[in-house]
Amino acid sequence: MILTVTMNPSIDTAYHLEKLAVDDVNRVEPVKTAGGKGLNVTRVLGQLGDDVVATGLLGGHMGEFLADLMDADGVTHDFAPITGESRICIAVLHEGCQTEFLESGPVVSEKELEAFTEKFRALAAKADVVTMSGSLPRGVDAGCYARLTEIAGELGAKVLLDTSGASLDAALVGTVKPYLVKPNLSELSALLGRELSSDDVLGIRDAIESDGRFDGVAWVIVSMGAAGSAAFHDGEIFRAVPPRIDCVNATGSGDSTVAGFAHAIAAEAEPAEVLRCGNACGTLNAMDPKTGHLPMERWDEVFGSVQVSKL
Ligand code: ADP
């Protein structure tokens, strides 16, 4: 089983407008989705046919509605309840622009976090792979993913962590390291405090190798949008280059790559296959208007066109 963690899910609400009328009335038809990076990972894993369970925190009436949306998507979920209301995030798509309104979300109490941690422990005990994605809600300290990584790692699960900033840093200096981290180029540059370029993979390798925080992390995969990704695994450097595509909506491509990596790692695939699978998922997501959704009818074509090489 693959367990996905979404600590700050949201009711993602999209309004499509031909023109946004500011300081006037806009009549809209909402499209509502159970959102959050971990839920994108979950839906893609569902498309890939994996046995996947989503967990995290669900708050109040909004949380109940999120559970209904997950049910409607056929997602198996087991979230811990909290008192604060889960957030709503609104994206207004108008005149080729995307104007977003993101609620900060509920504040989580120490007791609620403890109850979640116990649920997580029980679920992680049944998981081969655990993915953890996204930011943490208010009231949850930056060490949360580090503690969850320790619990899951000690239970024998492989932890794939897709976060940034202080929570990534805390997990990288924790006692049990994540099995895989997937920063994008700007997240890695911010973490290392230096500008990195997709044209200089050896420079990225040197920066990672000279930083002790990455010691013991089996896979460091740096995603680079349309340029694909560079991966560092077992002392080897891999480069994955996706086919050129008409990009429709790349939101959620990072989450889709994490799903692809989790799928292949759970299946104990060879390193090159892990990379091919993750990049194919990221690219397919970018070809579809929906976030965290792959046009599976194009799987063979895209999967077969991802170029993976060892440097
Ligand atoms: P994030 O969403 O975390 O910033 P990226 O934008 O780096 O992640 O995208 C993740 C992966 O999705 C890339 O490594 C690549 O395989 C694929 N991808 C993203 N954008 C494109 C694109 N325009 N064309 C082809 N593949 C893409």
What does the pLDDT look like over 172-204, one tens digit per residue?
999 999 999 999 999 999 999 999 999 999 999
CB of 241 closer than 6 A to ligand 1?
no
d(CA 164, CA 184): 9
The average pLDDT across 115-141 equals 97
For residue 29 the two structure tokens come to 């038809």
pLDDT at 136 (0 to 100): 95
Atom of ligand 1 nearest to the CA of 278: 16
22-75 pLDDT, tens digit per residue, is 999 999 999 999 999 999 999 999 999 999 999 999 999 999 999 999 999 999
**Is residue 40 a contact partner of residue 256, using CB atoms and an 8 Å limit?**
yes
Does 54 contact ligand 1 (Cβ within 6 A)? no
Query: Is residue 273 classed exposed, middle or buried when 0-12, 13-18 and 19+ CB atoms within 10 A define those classes?
Result: middle
Neighbours of 51 (CB within 10 A): 13
pTM: 0.95
Tally of CB atoms within 10 A around 184: 19
Q: Phi, psi (5° rounding) for residue 307?
A: -90, 120
Count of beta carbons in the 10 Å neighbourhood of residue 121:
14
Q: Looking at the annotation, which residues are catalytic?
A: 255
Mean pLDDT of 266-283: 98
Is 90 exceeded by the pLDDT of residue 96?
no
Which residue's CA is the closest to the ligand 1 atom numbered 25? 226
Mean pLDDT of 84-88: 97
Q: Is the CB of 248 under 6 A from ligand 1?
A: no
pLDDT at 148: 98
Ligand 1 pocket: which of 223, 256, 261 to mutate (most atoms within 8 A of CB): 223
Cα→Cα distances 26→12, 13, 305, Å: 18, 15, 43
Question: Would the pLDDT of 249 be above 90?
Answer: no
Q: Exposed, middle or buried, 263 (CB in 10 Å: 0-12/13-18/19+)?
A: buried
Give the Å distance between the CA of 257 and the centre of ligand 1: 8
User: Going by C-beta distance under 8 Å and a sequence separation of 6 or more, which residues neighbour residue 36?
Assistant: 6, 8, 9, 10, 56, 133, 134
Question: Distance from first CA to last CA of the chain, Å, rounded?
Answer: 33
Protein residue closest via CA to atom 21 of ligand 1? 226
Q: How confident is the model at residue 277 (pLDDT cuts 50, 70, 90)?
A: very high
pLDDT of residue 266: 98
Q: Check pLDDT > 90 for residue 147.
A: yes
User: What pLDDT sits at residue 233?
Assistant: 97
- 225 Cβ below 6 A of ligand 1: yes
Average pLDDT score, the chain: 96
185 CA closest ligand 1 atom index? 7
Which residue is closest in CA terms to ligand 1's atom 23?
Answer: 226
Strands, sheet with 52-59, edge to edge from the N-terminal-most edge strand? 80-82, 52-59, 2-6, 129-133, 158-162, 180-181, 219-223, 229-233, 236-241, 307-310
Please say if the pLDDT value at position 289 is more than 90.
Answer: no
Write down the CATH number for the domain with range 2-310: 3.40.1190.20
